[in-house]
Amino acid sequence: MFQDLDLTIEAMLNDRIAPTELRAADVSFETPDKGFGPGLRLATLNLFLTEIRENRELRDPTPIIEKIGDVYVQRRPPLRVDCEYVVTAWADPSSNQKIQNEHELLGQTLSWLSRIPIIPAKYFQGSLVGQQFPPPTLVAQMNGLESVGEFWSALGIPPRPHFNLIVTISMDLNQQVEGSLVTTTITGYRQGKDESSREELINIGGTVLDQNQNPVADAWVRLEPSGQVQITDSSGRFIFSAVSRGSNCTLHAGAAGLGEVTPRDLEIPSLSGEYNLQY
Q: CB atoms < 10 A from the CB of 162, how many?
A: 20
* 123 lies in the same domain as 201: no
Dihedral (Cα; 176, 51, 46, 125), 10-degree rounding: 10
* 100 lies in the same domain as 228: no
* 8 lies in the same domain as 145: yes
Per-residue pLDDT of the chain (279 residues), as tens digits, is: 899 999 999 999 999 999 888 999 999 999 999 889 887 888 999 999 999 999 888 877 666 666 666 555 666 778 899 999 999 999 877 778 889 999 999 999 999 999 999 999 999 999 888 887 889 999 998 665 667 778 888 999 999 999 999 999 998 876 554 444 456 766 655 555 666 656 777 888 899 999 988 999 999 999 999 899 999 988 898 988 888 888 789 999 999 999 999 999 988 888 777 899 999
* 224 lies in the same domain as 130: no
- Distances from the Cα of 109 to the Cαs of 28, 67, 68, 103, 254, in angstroms? 14, 44, 44, 10, 62
Q: What's the pLDDT score for residue 178?
A: 47
Domain that holds residue 274: 180-278
Q: What's the pLDDT score for residue 192?
A: 57
Q: Of 202, 214, 221, nearest to 268 (Cα)?
A: 202
Q: H/E element holding 10?
A: helix 2-13
* 192 lies in the same domain as 161: no
Q: What's the pLDDT score for residue 183?
A: 65
SS3 letters for 101-160? Answer: HHHHHHHHHHHHHHCCCECCHHHCCHHHCCCCCCCEEEECCCCCCCCHHHHHHHHCCCCC
* 127 lies in the same domain as 157: yes
Q: What's the pLDDT score for residue 180?
A: 45
* 196 lies in the same domain as 155: no
3-state DSSP assignment of residue 213: coil
Among 151, 171, 191, the domain-final residue is 171
Q: What's the pLDDT score for residue 274?
A: 84
Q: What's the pLDDT score for residue 220?
A: 96
What sign results for the dihedral spanned by CA atoms 63, 225, 233, 183?
positive
- Distances from the Cα of 250 to the Cαs of 39, 208, 253, 264, 275, in angstroms? 74, 14, 10, 5, 10
Q: Of 28, 7, 18, nearest to 124 (Cα)?
A: 7
Q: What's the pLDDT score for residue 63?
A: 62
pTM of the model: 0.62
* 33 lies in the same domain as 156: yes
Are 267 and 245 in contact by the 8 Å Cβ rule? The answer is no
Among 118, 143, 171, the domain-final residue is 171
Q: Which residues contact 124 (CB under 8 A, 6 or more apart)?
A: 4, 8, 130, 131
* 117 lies in the same domain as 229: no
Measured between alpha carbons, how far is 32 from 84 in angstroms, rounded to an integer? 15
* 37 lies in the same domain as 60: yes
Are 98 and 146 in contact by the 8 Å Cβ rule? The answer is no
* 188 lies in the same domain as 162: no
Number of domains in the chain: 2
Among 122, 138, 171, the domain-final residue is 171
Q: What's the pLDDT score for residue 173?
A: 74
* 39 lies in the same domain as 97: yes
